[in-house]
Amino acid sequence: MATLIASLFAPEGRWQLSIDRTNWMFGIFKINILFLAINYKGMSIPILWTLLPKKGCSNTTERVELLKRFRKIFPEQAIQRLLMDREFKGKQWLKYLVHGN
Q: Give the range of the structural domain holding residue 20, as residue numbers without chain letter.
A: 2-99
The secondary structure of residue 75, as a DSSP letter, is: T
Q: What pLDDT is recorded for position 100?
A: 81
pLDDT at 4: 86
Long-range CB pairs of 69-72 (<8 Å, 24+ gap) are 70/2, 70/17, 70/36
This prediction's pTM: 0.88
Q: Which residues contact 29 (CB under 8 A, 6 or more apart)?
A: none
Q: Do the beta carbons of residue 36 and residue 66 sit within 8 Å?
A: yes
pLDDT tens for the chain, 101 residues long, are: 898 888 888 888 999 999 999 998 889 888 999 999 999 999 999 999 999 999 889 999 999 999 999 999 999 999 999 999 988 999 999 999 999 86
Q: In this predicted structure, what is the pLDDT of residue 101? A: 65
- How many structural domains is the chain composed of? 1
